[in-house]
Structure 1
Amino acid sequence: MSDKISNEQNDGRQTEEEPLFDVIIPPGVPRSVIFDVVKKFDVEVVERKEKLSFANMDGDERELLAFRARREVAEQIEKYMIERVRTFIGE
């Protein structure tokens, strides 16, 4: 699970809502799993820039997809997504 995301209004003021967290969707996760997570947890899929630090991509920034949700839901999403991907690949 990634860092907390601030809930700011367009004018920069902080809202009273609970903080949101991003669960990065690793490249290669099947679309069916992504759609399943969105439907089951009623969450938003967002784009997020992340720096990569492996192989020959050290320091490269890539646009990745993430599920944005409250902490408790984000933790459930992370576990569920891993379980669904393992099922998909037949582990």
Structure 2
Amino acid sequence: MEEKKEAELYDVIVPPGVPRKIILDISEKFDVEVVDRPRAVKFANMDGDVRNLIAFRCDAKTAQEVHDYMLSELRKFVDGDE
């Protein structure tokens, strides 16, 4: 009997404030599932509040690629190169 081993999946959390264009771009360019992920947030007057954040669920290699791509696109956006 052969056991089927499921691939380990990882979530890349999308920080609040990431432009929708970048989120949509990643969801189209990479093999990811867009999911909600409950996380405690600690900024302004929301210390410890739990919010559902967006995350990209994928394998480890894709997660690293998505992370690097998202940071690169955010740098372009902040620098006005977009």
TM-score bracket relative to the smaller structure? 0.7 to 0.9
After TM superposition, the score normalised by the length of structure 2 is: 0.83
Q: Which runs of 5+ in 2 are unaligned?
A: none
- Give the counterpart of 1:75 among 64, 67, 71: 64
Q: Is it true that 1:20 corresponds to 2:45 in the alignment?
A: no
After TM superposition, the score normalised by the length of structure 1 is: 0.75
The superposition leaves residues 3-60 of structure 1 with CA deviations (integer Å, 9 ceiling, x where unpaired) of: xxxxxxxxxxxx7211111000011111110111111112111001001234432221
The count of residues paired between Structure 1 and Structure 2 equals 77
Displacement over 4 Å in runs of 4+? none
Alpha-carbon offset, residue 69 of structure 1: 0.5
- With 73-82 and 52-61 compared, the bigger mean Cα shift is at 52-61
Q: Which runs of 5+ in 1 are unaligned?
A: 1-14
- With 33-42 and 48-57 compared, the bigger mean Cα shift is at 48-57
Relative contact order: is structure 1 or structure 2 higher (C-alpha 8 Å, sep ≥ 6)?
2
